[in-house]
Amino acid sequence: MEIGQSESMDTRISFLAALPALIGLPLHAAPISLSDLSAYFAGISTAEAPFTQYNADGSEVTGRLMMHRPGRARFEYDNSDILVVVGGGQVAIFEDLADAEPLQYPLGMTPLDLILGRNVDLAASALVVDHVEAADGTTRVVAWDENRPEAGELTLVFADEPVRLVQWMTRNDMGETVVVALGDFTFGQDYSNFLFSPTFEADQRSR
């Protein structure tokens, strides 16, 4: 699947922004506690999962997410030259193979900071504005920063038994919603730090 210029723009914008609720997940009497969800993230060092991203324009793309907590992640899109590298406190979005000057955003100004932070404490976070069990049995944590409404709203979706992140949704200040549905995670990979270096990636592309 080739992504044209307009689709590339949509994907780039949609990445920072995140389908209907997942079906077939078990029902529970109460949401998973925020302390248990925080412990889930704290227990992750490295992790990898396939994902499907549903964009606001109805398009969808697939790819692979790699995380190296704290503060590092990499999103590789299938059949696309788009690459997102998170590291060094920055989120860098490369749009094609020759792109040595990516768009960059401070990690702290993006939703990813909530799950990549060194000390995740959802119960103490002022950004968490809702914590509920949905009708499908998932636990949903909604985060929003009233001081930076332009950053949009993030909803993290968790399943239980075992606790796991299965989806996130982001809605920007224009009401556009993007969903990232995650496949099964694998843990304990040995990643090179270069995978999470925007500077290294840019240098490789400029040669």
Secondary-structure class of domain 5-206 per CATH: mainly beta
**In the predicted model, is pLDDT for residue 2 greater than 70?**
no
Averaged pLDDT for residues 25-42: 82
Could you tell me the two tokens for 187?
């843990």
**CA 159 – CA 164 distance, rounded (Å):** 5
Instruction: Please tell me which residue, 205 or 135, carries the higher pLDDT value.
Output: 135
Could you tell me the two tokens for 8?
């590339």
**In the predicted model, is pLDDT for residue 189 greater than 70?**
yes
Could you tell me the two tokens for 51?
């994902």
Query: What predicted TM-score, i.e. pTM, was given to this entire model?
Result: 0.80
pLDDT digits (tens, 9 = 90+) for 9-30: 565 555 555 443 434 445 445 8
**CA 113 – CA 115 distance, rounded (Å):** 6
Neighbouring CB atoms inside 10 A of 152's CB total 23
CA distances from 27 to 36, 64, 134, 162, 175 (A): 17, 28, 9, 13, 29
3-state secondary structure 66-100: EEECCCEEEEEECCCCCEEEEECCEEEEECCCCCC
**CA 38 – CA 87 distance, rounded (Å):** 21
Kindly report which listed range (58-62, 100-104, 107-111, 167-171) carries the lowest average pLDDT score: 107-111
Q: Are 142 and 14 in contact (CB under 8 A)?
A: no
**CA 184 – CA 18 distance, rounded (Å):** 18
Q: What is the pLDDT of residue 1?
A: 43
